[in-house]
Structure 1
Amino acid sequence: MAGSGIDVDLFVPLPTRGVSDEVRNKYKNHKVEVRCNGRLRIHRIGIPKEGKSVIGRAARYILMNAVFILKSISSKADVIFVQSTPPTQGATAAIIKKVMHIPFVYNLQDVFPDSLVGTGIAKKGSAVYRMGRVIENFTYRNADKIIVISNDMKTNIMTKGVPESKIEIVNNWIDGNVVKPIPKDQNYMYEKFGLSRENFNVVYAGNLGYAQNIEVIIKAAEVLKDCSDIKFLIFGKGAQEEEYKNMAAELNLCNLSFFPIQPYSEVSYVYSLGDVSIVPCKKGFGSSAMPSKTWSIMAAGTPVLASFDSDTDMEKLINSQKVGMFNHAEDWEGLSSNIKYLYSNREYLQEYGRNARKYVEENISREKCVGKYIMCIKNSKNIN
């Protein structure tokens, strides 16, 4: 944005997830950072670290949003642009809009409170769900433009009364210069983790939580445990990490290993380890999300194995672009069958990998997607 001539004031909390106290303390001394010849000013807000308690996290979000309101209304902004995580951000931006009388562009990355139902945190019709719908409706009603990341998400919010004219679809992008295929003989991860280049590797990398349904991978590994050269490599951490590790240990799976999550700078090496990489989800969760790891896998030239909800953008992508194979969410027998098929028919691996990389280069490049954001933000100045 700053590079396109927009002056940006970015308000963010001090980093807390996946960073050491040393890194956090470093940023405490850089609460205002100026970049891009003065066009980008990053304002870091000192608030408590994020804990595991739901109540504590909610209190942190409320405090953060209160500070955002105070900081924003003292600025001279022409447009407000916020993302949907945490979900209270949208309501915060709506309040700022009403006070400052300026347009509000909302970047919807996760449909709330649907995601709470999908992850099992709340039930449809519960008090938490109803409160979430109030926040959601207030946000959608006041947003001048809503940028969503998939057709599924667009359909979802249109069924809730959002007019189509308010919605723009912009996929989450991937920088193909950063994430790219790494040849096996140049991938040092094999040596780092003591892996064989002769094995057929099935990779998952990311959060180990409820919504990701890592259980389907573990059960597929159990089905294929007698195939000695098919190995399942799981990189990640999350709320259910120990539960998943215990499940694998109880099944005595020698073909499945857990590894620490790797920094983003190593993502090309991680996904290039895989002959295939898995994108799983809990049943009912896929209609409101298109995992961004999909683009990272494809940028690395690796075929995608999606264990996902049917009739979604994910299924359409896999089948229409021939970038991998699809099975229904929670169907570990279907997943294991797809793995075995590609293991036995490896000529498809190169075809799917080439198609995946080509699709990313032509459709999900950073330049194209950022350009759409900039156009939407600039056009929003003429809405009111």
Structure 2
Amino acid sequence: MKRRGIKYLPRKAILIIHRYSLKYSITTSPYMNEILKGLSKRYRVYYLSYSSEGEHLSKYVKEISLPFKLLRGDRFLFLKSALFPLLIMLKLINARKIIREKLLLAFCDDGLPYYYYIVKKVIRTKTIYRMGDHMIGYLVDPHKNFVLRVLYDVLFTLQRLTLSTVDNIIVISDYMKEYLILNGVPESKLIVVPESVDTKLFESNAIEQERLKSLRKALNLQDNIVLLYHGSMVSWKNLDIIVKAMKLVTKKLPNIKLLMIGSGPLMKYIRSLIDRYNLAKDVILLGWIPYHEIPLYIALSDIGIVARKKMLANDFVLTTAFLQYISMGKPALVPKLKTLVDFYKKFSLCQYLVYRPDSPVDLSSKIIRTIHEIEEIKKHIKKAQYYVRLNYSHDVIMQLMLKVLNAIIEN
């Protein structure tokens, strides 16, 4: 018999691990808040990350903090990411002092390599790894030269061996699944759960026109055509191509502006390119802005630009930024990379919106063509928008992820 005033918690627990605290993980995993709420109905949920911001989503979600904070665009991102496996190990060694319930599952939701192996070995429970990025492929491009190819083979062989120790691997695309199978990862371990977009937040009809007018005025855009890039400024994103393309575009379309949201290691280099090409009036660097304000800037823009280098790791990704543009009905120019191209093929958009990732000339011509043929392109984008909102919404992916996690737990 339950006594009044006493809350009975579940006797079984799930541990979710991510570098970013809840406040920031939502930018890479829009479904995370809902996943935590859903799981907490049946289990005690622990969320382990770098120093949290204290966002307790329910009475059953307990945050476990590592030392330090990790922010978007953190200048010590690489160092803190390198320390992450060690800090995880030290924290989990004493896990029994924190997690009193029977631990059913560890869900490693961060795309970093190797740390999931430590999790599995230390806590010795069912472990799932979500491979949201092929991080080794970002750091070491195997197609660049022979030395990097050898280094990649060594690092990826180590990853393949460590992947064999976890119970299941959630991957973000069919192509990533195919690649892992070809490289010896058992198909039985692999489950595809694609990226998602918060369709309630990234909803064009939810944007107030007065806010748009105010923002346009604040940025002194007047009747300018607006291009937008938003995301981190890192080496695998080829941001110099966008700036070089702008140099060419402004010669033919002087009323065009490029907004760039984000920061990172390449920010200084991008500033130098803007100065070199005398584009200070045409390219506006905004730095990081709050996540919930990004839809306003997308609504303001005419065309989005996704920037990625031609490299193996980028072929696997249907980027979050891309899904955000399409969710709001905006044309998005994308580099010729497999998963992005496969998506656009469904809607006959490759001829308009796919550019060669190493060519500012090709990107500039696609920008100009998109502007000139915008009405025709929007007809196709409308179909893509419906498809994204139906299949990639965070509600849909959240339900799929919950179904996957519960099935693994109960298996």
How does the TM-score come out when normalised to structure 1? 0.85
Q: Select which of 358, 363, 366 maps to 2:394.
A: 366
**What residue is the counterpart of 1:286 in the other structure?**
314
Q: Select which of 221, 231, 236 maps to 2:246.
A: 221
TM-superposition CA deviations, 1:19-74 (whole Å, max 9, x none): xxxxxxxx4xx5xx7542x3222222234768756884365224322234224455
Q: Select which of 280, 293, 299 maps to 1:266.
A: 293
State the aligned residue count: 359
Structure 2: give runs of 5+ residues left out of the alignment. 1-34
Q: Select which of 303, 308, 313 maps to 2:331.
A: 303
Query: For residue 299 of structure 2, what is the amino acid of its counterpart?
Result: S
Structure-2 change in CA distance of 1:57 and 1:317 (3 Å)? same
**What residue is the counterpart of 2:9 in the other structure?**
none
- RMSD over aligned CA atoms reads 2.7
1:53-202 residue pairs with structure 2 within 5 A? 56-57=79-80, 60-72=83-95, 75=99, 76-96=102-122, 99-100=123-124, 102-118=125-141, 123-126=148-151, 129=152, 132-181=155-204, 182=207, 186-187=211-212, 188-196=214-222, 198-202=223-227
**What residue is the counterpart of 2:38 in the other structure?**
3
- 8 A contact 1:183–1:272 mirrored in 2: no
- 8 A contact 1:118–1:282 mirrored in 2: no
Structure-2 change in CA distance of 1:281 and 1:70 (3 Å)? same
Structure 1: distance between partners of 2:233 and 2:261: 9
Structure 2: distance between partners of 1:49 and 1:341: 41
Structure 2: distance between partners of 1:56 and 1:261: 20
Structure 1: distance between partners of 2:69 and 2:287: 26
TM-superposition CA deviations, 1:130-149 (whole Å, max 9, x none): 66335412331012111111
Structure-2 change in CA distance of 1:68 and 1:135 (3 Å)? farther
More deviation in 320-329 or 166-175? 320-329
Alpha-carbon distance, 1:308 to partner: 3.3
- 8 A contact 1:205–1:234 mirrored in 2: yes
Structure 1: distance between partners of 2:249 and 2:307: 17
Q: Select which of 234, 240, 254 maps to 1:209.
A: 234
Structure 1: give runs of 5+ residues left out of the alignment. 16-26
Alpha-carbon distance, 1:269 to partner: 0.7
Runs of 4+ in 1 over 6 A off after TM superposition: 48-51
TM-superposition CA deviations, 1:222-264 (whole Å, max 9, x none): 1112211222221221101111111121111243222222110
Structure 2: distance between partners of 1:87 and 1:148: 13
TM-superposition CA deviations, 1:133-168 (whole Å, max 9, x none): 354123310121111111221122112211222211
Query: For residue 138 of structure 1, what is the amino acid of its counterpart?
Result: L
- 8 A contact 1:305–1:326 mirrored in 2: yes
How does the TM-score come out when normalised to structure 2? 0.79
Alpha-carbon distance, 1:364 to partner: 0.6
Structure-2 change in CA distance of 1:130 and 1:6 (3 Å)? farther
**What residue is the counterpart of 1:22 in the other structure?**
none
TM-superposition CA deviations, 1:102-150 (whole Å, max 9, x none): 3211111111422212498x92323xx4663354123310121111111
Alpha-carbon distance, 1:81 to partner: 0.5
Alpha-carbon distance, 1:349 to partner: 4.6
Structure 2: distance between partners of 1:139 and 1:153: 17
**What residue is the counterpart of 1:20 in the other structure?**
none
**What residue is the counterpart of 2:62 in the other structure?**
41
Percent of aligned pairs sharing the same letter: 19
Alpha-carbon distance, 1:296 to partner: 1.1
Alpha-carbon distance, 1:186 to partner: 4.5
Structure 2: distance between partners of 1:153 and 1:130: 17
Secondary structure of 1:257's match? Answer: strand
Structure 1: distance between partners of 2:67 and 2:268: 31
Query: For residue 161 of structure 1, what is the amino acid of its counterpart?
Result: G
1:300-339 residue pairs with structure 2 within 5 A? 300-309=328-337, 312-322=338-348, 325-339=353-367
